[in-house]
Amino acid sequence: MAEDEKDLPAPSELMQILMDVGWVAIGRGMKANAESIFSGIAAARPNSELPLIGLAVCAINFGNFVGASKILAQKALPLNPNNGIARCFLAVAVRAIGEKDYALELANCVANECDDPVAVAFAKSLITGKDVEDPVQN
């Protein structure tokens, strides 16, 4: 690993707080703030797909489905190909740009192969088009 690719020393708790603030910024429509927050986290944690998922969700929420699919497929998933949430958001992005068969393939893969119950629930909701019971609330 090159020197510039190492994670910067920062407490994990701080990174989680910043991620939470990024999600709130997306929810409040604060695109530039959310992008800045997630980009900063990505710079501090270049080996984590999580801030890249945040950037992709921001892109999705503001209609940049092609940009979101590139972030997920070219940056986030190469870091962790087994991240079911990243694959589900990729399904959302590619479906929005007309790749419905690929979106369904991604969602089915997560629903059938992923160990993360939240990702599985997300995938099932993409497949059925309906909300499914939240596994975290049970």
Domain residue ranges in the chain: 3-128
Query: What's the rounded mean pLDDT across residues 86-105?
Result: 96
Q: Where are the beta strands (DSSP E) in the chain?
A: none
Q: What is the pLDDT of residue 129?
A: 86
CA atoms of 99 and 81, how far apart (whole Å): 20
Arithmetic mean of pLDDT, 31-60: 96
Residue 118 one-letter amino acid = V
Question: Average pLDDT for residues 14-20, to the nearest whole number?
Answer: 92
Q: Which helix (H) or strand (E) holds 13?
A: helix 12-27
Q: Confidence band (pLDDT; 50, 70, 90) for 131?
A: low
Average the pLDDT over 98-118 and give the result.
96
State pTM to two decimals: 0.86
Is residue 14 predicted with pLDDT exceeding 50? yes
How confident is the model at residue 130, as a pLDDT?
A: 74
**Does domain 3-128 correspond to CATH entry 1.25.40.10?**
yes
Averaged over 87-106, what is the pLDDT? Answer: 96
